[in-house]
Each structure stands twice: as C-alpha cells, then as structure tokens.
Structure 1
C-alpha cells in the first residue's frame, strides 16, 4: 500500500516538473506594447536580433525561446505582489484582527493569473450591536407585552459569547395611506379594530431606542410602546429594514458585529406595491428619519426591492435574523435565500422564545464564513478556494465559504486574480467577510507599457530617418524597412520593379502572400520567414499530435529529425531493438520498419512470434505434399504453396488439431530459429457412430428393464417373507383343546315319522 502511494506521489511530482519546464504559449505581436499585453510573452530589444526578411513579430516570444535564439537583451515584466499591511491575527479587545493581510498592491500581466492567501480567525469576545425591529400591527399585541421584559435577558445571553453588547429597539406598521391604513380620521387616531382597545396611530418606521448597553433603558422605552393597526395583511417591514440599516448615526451602529432582528407574524410589501396608493417614486435607499425618529417620507417613496435590501444590508455589514411565526416561515425562507448572511427562526405566537431564537440564530450566522469581493473593476476576474480544516482546498468558486467555524478556529482561502484587459489606471477593490467590517484592500495595476530606456530620435541604426525604441525603428514620413533604408515609391513602373524583386517566380505572389514588399525586400508576417516568406516553421507534419513527433525541429516546413529518427514527421525510429528476438530480426517472419515488425501474412505479435490460423494457412501445403507422395523431381515439388516449409509424415495414425479429409496435421514454430515445422499422419480408423449410438441406447433400455424386474422381484420376495413370518407368529399363539363344551346338551325329544316304515 505504501509503495502504491509512493508511486502516485512520484507521478504527480513528475507531471508538476513537466508543467514547470514547459513554457507557456505566447502569441507573437508586432510591437513591444502589444507583446506585453499577450500572456507569457517577452520582447527582444536587441538591435540586430532579426534576420533578413523577419518581421518585428519575431521579437515577441516567451523568454526561454528568445534566449534560445540568442537574444542578449530581453525585456520582460513579471507580476509582482507587494504586501503593504499584514497585521497578525489577534483577539485582543483593544486591537481585534480577524482578517489578514489588510492591504495588497498587485502588478499583473494581462492573462497571467496571480494567487495569494487570505487568513481568517474568529476572535473570541467580538462586540455585538443588536437592533430589535418589531412589527407593531394589532396581531402582535401579545408579543409586545413579553418583549418589554426580554431586553435584559437578551443582553445577558449574548454576554456569554462576547464581552460587550448593545441593544436597540425600532418598530414598524405600514405606509399611512389607503389601502394599507384606514385614512378615516377616527381610525387615524385609533386604528384598533375594537373601540374597547387603545392603539397608537399607524406609522411606517420609528426608531424608538438607539443602541445602548442599558437593559433597563430598553425595558423602559419598550414599555412605553402601544400596539397599532393596519388594514391589509402584509406589513411595511422592508421599508423599516432599509431605514434601520442606512441611518447609521441615529441607530448608533458601531464598528462591531451588527445584527438586525426582524420580528413579524405576516408577510411584507415590496417594490411596486406602493402604486396601489399612488406612490411611484423608487425607494432611494437613504435615511429619512425626522427628529422624533420617524420615517417621514414613506408616502413619497415606494417600498424597496429585495435586491436593493440585500445590497444595503451587505454594504453596511448587517446580519439579519428573521424571527417569524410558523405560517410565515416558507415566505421568509425564500427571502433569506436572496439575502446573504441571514437566517430564519420560528417565533412563538407570544414571542416567548425570542431569546433562545436570537442566541441560536447568532450562532449559525457567526459560524458561517463567507469571503467575497466588492467594487471590483471590469476586466478583473476573481475566484476563491477554501480550506476550512486541515484538509485540501475546495474547487475554485466565485466566493469562499466555510461552515461550522468555531471561535478561535482559523480558516484559509486562496484568491486568484487575472486581468483580461489593460486597466487605464490602478484600481482598488475590497475583499471582506460578509457581516464584518474588516476588509482586505487590494490595489491592482496592469503591466502593459514598455519602458525599454533606449528611445533615440533620428537614430543611426535607423539611418537617421526613424526613432529607435525597444530595438525597433519607427520610420519617419515615407521611409520604410527594418532600418528605414528606403522610401515608399509612387511611380507605377518603379513599384512593379520593386515588387518583382519580392517574387519567387513570375507567377507567384509578392512575398508568397505572407508579407509586404518593402524596398525590394520581403517583410514577413510571423511565423513566415525567408527571402520570399516561403518558410514556415509551424507547418511541418505532425505525428501523435506533435510537431515532427516531438523528435525534431521544423525548419521551413520540413522536419529536421534528431539522430535515430527519420520520416517526414520524424515518426520513424531507426533503431531495431524492438524488432529483435534474440539474434533474429522479427523472428525471420517480417521486416523491421521504424523499429516495429511488419509481419508476413499468417504471423503476428511484436516480433512475429505467433501464428494466426495455422490450419487454414498450411492446409494447401499439406494437401499438396500428400498428393505428391512417392513422386520425384518436379512432380514432387510443392514449394509454390509451401515455400521453404517441408512437411514430414508420421507413420502411425495420429489425431492432431488440424485435419483435411483423412489426413490430420499440426503446425509448430521453432523457438530457436523461427522455422515452421509441419507433421502429418493418417487419421485413426473411424467407427460408425450411428450404430454405436443405437446399440448403446438399446442396451441401456434392456439393462434398465432387467434392473427394474430384479428390484421388483426382490421387493416382492421381501414382502412375502415378512407376511409369512407374521402368519407363523399368529399360528403359534392359537391353542386347540379337546374338552367338552359345557354349554352343549344332547337332544331329549324323539320324534317318529309316521310315514317311515322300517324293514
């Protein structure tokens, strides 16, 4: 087992080395700047690097290939990671650090991904701000009485997992407009359905108490609240959540874990519902609380959409707990799927279980770590891999996620960045854990400019008619050529004469159609080269999907094979080691072609060591030999059908696998020299199988009949003997006595027959 694991590890290591040694493919470009925009490309800025007729694209290749082509001055820019802030993870109350690093500056090549690691560790005792948002519609009347006494219990329960907790309270009903709330004057003052009850006027949202550590203050403020009422079942909860999230100063949110507890016993209105009341302005997502903490623009702006609510909560790092009654659970679970860092809990009808519900929900929220990015610029691709325990990383995904993370447990993430285009300037985006304010600031700059430090105007290398930059001449005016050595001609005859110098023959295209004719010389497009751009080092034949079978170099469309290989695609191995069987080549039954045996008909295997269908192959040879037995000279010659094989007769009758008519034979191959040996003999005398079968069947029937009769007679004899013994036993038991029967009396009356006459 250990050997198997060792072998797997070794193969993996070999593949890794092959990957590292194999240079990434580069797509050549005509300028240095375009070259750097192409992944894995470098630029040769050596002045005299290009050969005659080569285009500037030949300067652009991967660095290893340029070095191999003897470029002594390669310009290349590698991706760089600069860690500008990397504080250690800490649970110190005065300096809590849960995410590292905190600031990175990256320089990326387009198309070349960069990977870096991010660590997160849940700190013990991280402070909590909890804002309790309650539905005060009339159906929540029983709940309000219980909530008045639960503030301190909520604080005490959360203090078990953190050192500092603050709690606040807000309430909501619905927009004060028909058809949500009755606008009859009496109902505006007292919206209770029964005149015997007293309710406070309806409102959309009210911040009753900002975040505080004082449980008694929470109890006092909540005790002052009265129930309210509305007409329809859905409430204005989404309006209230938006205001509770964006009104940072009024609520008093701190730089801590932020939790919003939403309690209700019914569903909610969403974007578009406001049109029923003539409210058509989209929700602007801003804070509109007046001095009394009331949302006073509810009749101007429509309800927010679910997507808008999700973005606002995420932007303000607020985690959401839905505490709703059982019949509303399906609705809020569907809503929770659309809002990250939110959970749903079942609220008892009188809210008596809210303390335990909040505790359980907070545990679920805080144990789920979701790493995501925000404000990423276009053209930047970001993906994550998660290592939630000591095991392997997960697959790449758009977010990093770990569940059931305990306090003090560290989880790791790998982040991969790749730029698909050049950025006009350095761009910054954020990587953060949902629900927390801690963030990693990442600034990205793309490396797309060539700064070769060799710019020379009217350079001598360019014959004074161009600027030298990155080893390449940019010619002035009508000047052309690698060194601006000629001018563009306007005279037609002159142009034709110049083009004629670029034709390989009178019928061919200038520069073979693969370049431009400048100054009577071809400037070829990559990968073409040569005096007339007739050569292409990428058009050679392929073998097994590889250029020149990976056993040669492609030069001008032809493979130049390494020693030991031949063929148009270097597909032929000139060695013969795989054809040899001892001292024999292909066992004397084939030819060695490209180090592989091409066997004669009737032979197969790598060294032609096996016969295929020997009976069929040599039956004519045996038949000919039998027919010409006893003859001599040409009449006895069967070489036409036997070749070099000479069958031999065995005098005694034999039975072999092969048979023709009354002759049976076998074919064998000599393991030493590969020679074929055939031995044949007469078939042993045959027996009439029909008579044998009939006789056997009749004999079997008779024998079975006799056996049945014998068995019957034996059984009958046994039965008779047993019955006779029983008779004898019964006979012995009978006793015959001669004494007179006492019951017998003789006759006492004598009667005379009157008709009888005695003589």
Structure 2
C-alpha cells in the first residue's frame, strides 16, 4: 500500500470516529450529560435552536449556534519561584513550579511541565541510629573516630551545610527480651563480667547540629548496654526518629538521611505480645526528657512507650519514613543483610549494605557512596492522589534519549539516574479526569521528588456541571411551570414531556405513543 492510500485510509478512520462521537453526542438531552459524555461534545445554549443541542463544536457552529458551552482545561501557576542553589542564608529551590491550579474536563487530558535541577549546597541532615549493645562498642568508637572524614568528604563533594545527630537503642526492658531480675536490670552486662547501662528502648542523645566536636565527644561518652535475646528493638528507634522531627531537629528544606548501624536482627510487629504488650504501635512521637538519678540529662530524650506499645510493622515504618521524606541507610552485620533487605525492599529511597570488613574507613565510604546515589537520581511520587484522576509522568533524562513513562502511584522505578549538579530535567505530567466525583469538592494533591522536602502542589477543580443548569428555575416558558428552563431548553417535571413540557404521560405509554400524542 502506497503512502497516499495509507493517508486516505487513516483519514477515513478519523472521519468515522468523528461521526461516531457526533452521533453519541446527539443522543444527550441535557447540558451536563452532554459535556460529560465525550470531551468533543459541546452544547448549544441559544434560546431558540431547532437542531440537536448536543453535538461537536464544528457542527453547532455550522448550524448557526451563537452560544456554545464547551469547557476546556485550564492551568494557572500560583507559585512559580525560579530554580536556585542553596547557601547558609537561603534554601535552594530544585523544583519549579511549586503550586498550580487546574480546571479539568472529563476525558480531556491536560499536560503540564515541571523542572528539576540538582542544586549546589543542598542542606544535608544525617541522623545516626546506633545499636548500643555491648558487642557494638568497637563500631561506636569507629564512628566517633571517622565522622570527621565523613563530613569532610560530603563537604568536598556536595555541600558545606551539614548537620549531624544521633540516638542509641537496645530493646524493650521486659521479659523475654531482657532479664528483669533486679541485679541484671541494674547491670545487664553482668554475664560479661563488666558494668554497663540499664537496658532501654531508645534514647535520643544529640539533636542535629553542625558541631562535629560535640558529636564526637557525645558518642565517645556513650555507654553500652545489653539485652537477653539476639534480636534488638531497632525499629522502635527508627520510628521515633522519623515521627519526632522537633526532637531530632530535622530541617524543613534539607535532604534527610537516617543511618542505622547494628550487628543484630530486629523485632517487628507482633513480637511485643511475647512480652505481654498487646497495643499496636501508633506511629506517634513518645519521646520525653531522659532522667537519670532524678536528674534530667540536658538534650537527651527517651522513648517512654517502650513497655506499652508493640514494635512497628514494615508497612507502618515505610509510611513514616516516606511521609517525613527520610532516606534510610542500613549498615548491618553480614549474617543479617537478608533480613534487613526484606525491610528496605518495602521502603522507598532506602538501602541495606553489609558493614564493610575494612572497618571504620569502609563505613565512611559506604555512607558517602549512598549519599552520592541519592543525589544522582530522582523519581516523582504522588501524595493524596484523587482516585478519579489518571496521572502519568514522562521525561527525557539528561543521560538518555529514552522517554520513561509510568502511571502514578503504582510504578516505583527511578525515572532518572546519573544526574549532575546544575543539570535540568523536565517532567511532562499528563492528568486526565476519568470520572466526575459525586461530591462537588476541590481536590489537592502533591507530586514529590522522593526523599526531598520540595513538591509541586496541584489544586484541581472539575468542569462537570453546566453553569446554566445551576441557575435553573421554574418558568412559564415551560407550560405553566411544568418544568425548569435551563441551558436554552425546558427540563420537564416527572410525568411531563414535550419541547415545552406541554404533554402529560399516561401510565403504560410507550415512546411511540407519547410522540404521537404530543404534537
């Protein structure tokens, strides 16, 4: 088949499809039904119009209609600050625009653009959640010895604006997780013939700040403790670090990184029942000032509900980290990598790695490499996506000519990788209203680069109703108020029909009988 024949056949298909749409439009009797039937249907609002009021826009114009209702999608940027790098004086902007208002018509796809750029001097918050068990004493010392190298490396590669903090965990101080005889409660390291701190669930030791010397001193002065069973209460600690931003000190515009270090496995939801704890975890902050020897330790907070609430579930922890835009990196002993991998497979922007056998220097490199991975990739996720919207995101990444497209929120792959500072990536977001919701409400949802505080907030309104129907009222035009006059025609009361509602329907009348009576 030659090119002309192909074009002719394609044109024929388009014509048939157009005629099919028009025929479907013609069957709609009222304005709302008309505009919601198909995005190409339009309504003639003239008071006097003898042809079908619902048709395609071109036909209505050809038939002489002067007032046509044919809603279009609209877009208005309500916040559109330009991209900029960060500094100590002001926050960076990596995503633009920041807020949009859309008006959507059912079935009519709207495309909008947003731009992302990796900024220089993006603030970094790194919070260490460390296992303070007796067996971790050497690892804790390693972190203290090498934290300066970590900070120097991050400053050299990424930003001067870095804050660090940390907390420590053991496990719930109840049987069977901990031996609760008075002597062992006082010194859980009795079996190791040494002295250590009483068992606790989680203690926040240092709020995020840029004082590296204070961080090192506080870690070096951290006492170890112990529990009885081989698993630890690390998930309680991660949950509290995620849901207590005021205590931890997470900043509003930073990239938040939680580094978890342990040589043991973890307890999760349901295990608390072994200790008589039936209440499920509530994903709420329960940190209170830490008191030792009747004296509050300045800056320290302890998890108050360790004996009250069960451990969190995988899903609950994943939600808490995502909701608070926290990127989690788990560095664990080689024998437990598989366990933590099962956890991080469920958590967006998280990763599990074996603690490097080369010691503290290897740990520093692993954390640096993890942050480099985070900064070089971007994925757009949705928050509070309305069920009636179909949303896709497409981009031509700076490192590829392939356009990746996925539907929110089901696809979780990274959209762009190997990004570099200063390089822009443009996302084309397509939004389609698939069904008009029953309730007449505005919707607001967000598109978020995973693991970052920035987002595009989109407020949507729907063109599902004709304004002329909202102003309908009983009118003498409609046979002594036997119907309402709206959108250029009469909408009859039940039992009435005809152009002006001038006819009554008798019980059992068919459409043919009614048409014969109503002349």
Please give the alpha-carbon distance, in whole angstroms, between the structure 1 residues aligned to 2:370 and 2:10.
Answer: 47
The residue aligned with 2:61 is 67
Query: Could you say which structure has the larger radius of gyration?
Result: 1
* Secondary structure in structure 2 of the residue aligned to 1:354: helix
Matched, 1:335 2:351: no
Identify which of 401, 412, 417 aligns with 1:403.
Answer: 417
Matched, 1:358 2:331: no
Give, in angstroms, the shift of residue 216 of structure 1.
0.9
Which TM-score applies when normalising by structure 2? Answer: 0.87
The residue aligned with 1:614 is none
CA RMSD in angstroms, aligned pairs only: 2.8
Please give the alpha-carbon distance, in whole angstroms, between the structure 2 residues aligned to 1:149 and 1:72.
Answer: 80
Identify which of 344, 349, 355 aligns with 1:347.
Answer: 355
Please give the alpha-carbon distance, in whole angstroms, between the structure 2 residues aligned to 1:435 and 1:386.
Answer: 19
1:19/1:434 CA distance change after superposition, 3 Å = farther
The residue aligned with 1:43 is 43
Which TM-score applies when normalising by structure 1? Answer: 0.60
Please give the alpha-carbon distance, in whole angstroms, between the structure 2 residues aligned to 1:200 and 1:316.
Answer: 31
Superposition map of 1:458-497 within 5 A: 458-460=475-477, 462=479, 465-475=482-492, 479-488=496-505
Please give the alpha-carbon distance, in whole angstroms, between the structure 1 residues aligned to 2:465 and 2:237.
Answer: 51
Matched, 1:393 2:403: yes
Aligned residues: 487
The residue aligned with 2:285 is 287
Please give the alpha-carbon distance, in whole angstroms, between the structure 2 residues aligned to 1:291 and 1:456.
Answer: 65
Matched, 1:211 2:208: yes
Please give the alpha-carbon distance, in whole angstroms, between the structure 2 residues aligned to 1:31 and 1:101.
Answer: 38
Per-residue CA deviations over 1:671-716 (Å, capped at 9, x if unaligned) read xxxxxxxxxxxxxxxxxxxxxxxxxxxxxxxxxxxxxxxxxxxxxx
Please give the alpha-carbon distance, in whole angstroms, between the structure 1 residues aligned to 2:102 and 2:283.
Answer: 34
Is the 8 Å Cα contact of residues 171 and 206 (structure 1) preserved in structure 2? yes
The residue aligned with 2:326 is 318
The residue aligned with 1:451 is 467
Identify which of 152, 157, 165 aligns with 2:148.
Answer: 152
Is the 8 Å Cα contact of residues 81 and 106 (structure 1) preserved in structure 2? yes
Per-residue CA deviations over 1:447-498 (Å, capped at 9, x if unaligned) read 01111388564244756654321121134576431112334458xxxx9xxx
The residue aligned with 2:293 is none
Q: Which shifted more, 461-470 or 147-156?
A: 461-470
The residue aligned with 1:97 is 93
The residue aligned with 1:426 is 442
The residue aligned with 1:438 is 454
Per-residue CA deviations over 1:525-545 (Å, capped at 9, x if unaligned) read xxxxxxxxxxxxxxxxxxxxx
Is the 8 Å Cα contact of residues 463 and 483 (structure 1) preserved in structure 2? no
Is the 8 Å Cα contact of residues 462 and 475 (structure 1) preserved in structure 2? no
Please give the alpha-carbon distance, in whole angstroms, between the structure 2 residues aligned to 1:174 and 1:19.
Answer: 68
Superposition map of 1:20-169 within 5 A: 23=18, 25=21, 27-28=24-25, 29-40=28-39, 41-50=41-50, 58-93=52-87, 94-160=90-156, 161-169=158-166
Please give the alpha-carbon distance, in whole angstroms, between the structure 2 residues aligned to 1:421 and 1:257.
Answer: 37
Give, in angstroms, the shift of residue 150 of structure 1.
2.4
Higher relative contact order (CA 8 A, sep 6+): 2
Is the 8 Å Cα contact of residues 388 and 434 (structure 2) preserved in structure 1? yes
Please give the alpha-carbon distance, in whole angstroms, between the structure 2 residues aligned to 1:22 and 1:108.
Answer: 23
Is the 8 Å Cα contact of residues 342 and 365 (structure 1) preserved in structure 2? no
Please give the alpha-carbon distance, in whole angstroms, between the structure 1 residues aligned to 2:12 and 2:145.
Answer: 68
Per-residue CA deviations over 1:252-301 (Å, capped at 9, x if unaligned) read 11121111000011211111111111111111111111112110101111
Please give the alpha-carbon distance, in whole angstroms, between the structure 2 residues aligned to 1:117 and 1:339.
Answer: 28
Identify which of 371, 375, 381 aligns with 2:390.
Answer: 381
1:19/1:285 CA distance change after superposition, 3 Å = farther
Give, in angstroms, the shift of residue 101 of structure 1.
0.9
Q: Which shifted more, 345-354 or 264-273?
A: 345-354
Is the 8 Å Cα contact of residues 144 and 227 (structure 1) preserved in structure 2? no
* Secondary structure in structure 2 of the residue aligned to 1:105: strand
Is the 8 Å Cα contact of residues 123 and 161 (structure 2) preserved in structure 1? yes
Give, in angstroms, the shift of residue 69 of structure 1.
4.2
Q: Which shifted more, 101-110 or 143-152?
A: 143-152
Identify which of 210, 226, 229 aligns with 1:229.
Answer: 226
Give, in angstroms, the shift of residue 183 of structure 1.
0.7
Matched, 1:257 2:255: yes
Is the 8 Å Cα contact of residues 385 and 397 (structure 1) preserved in structure 2? no
The residue aligned with 2:297 is none
Per-residue CA deviations over 1:158-210 (Å, capped at 9, x if unaligned) read 21110211110111011111111111111111111635322111111100111
Per-residue CA deviations over 1:226-259 (Å, capped at 9, x if unaligned) read 1111112221111100101111111111121111
1:339/1:195 CA distance change after superposition, 3 Å = closer
Per-residue CA deviations over 1:539-559 (Å, capped at 9, x if unaligned) read xxxxxxxxxxxxxxxxxxxxx
Per-residue CA deviations over 1:501-540 (Å, capped at 9, x if unaligned) read xxxxxxxx862xxxx6156148xxxxxxxxxxxxxxxxxx
Superposition map of 1:480-629 within 5 A: 480-488=497-505, 511=512, 517-518=514-515, 520-521=517-518
Identify which of 268, 271, 277 aligns with 1:270.
Answer: 268
Structure 2 unpaired stretches of 5+ = 291-300
Please give the alpha-carbon distance, in whole angstroms, between the structure 2 residues aligned to 1:510 and 1:248.
Answer: 68
Q: Which shifted more, 364-373 or 392-401?
A: 392-401
Per-residue CA deviations over 1:40-81 (Å, capped at 9, x if unaligned) read 121122344346xxxxxx432322233344434321111111
Please give the alpha-carbon distance, in whole angstroms, between the structure 2 residues aligned to 1:510 and 1:31.
Answer: 18
Is the 8 Å Cα contact of residues 261 and 331 (structure 2) preserved in structure 1? yes
1:80/1:277 CA distance change after superposition, 3 Å = same
Please give the alpha-carbon distance, in whole angstroms, between the structure 2 residues aligned to 1:207 and 1:456.
Answer: 66
1:44/1:189 CA distance change after superposition, 3 Å = same
Please give the alpha-carbon distance, in whole angstroms, between the structure 2 residues aligned to 1:17 and 1:138.
Answer: 79
The residue aligned with 1:530 is none
Please give the alpha-carbon distance, in whole angstroms, between the structure 2 residues aligned to 1:16 and 1:165.
Answer: 61
Give, in angstroms, the shift of residue 104 of structure 1.
0.6
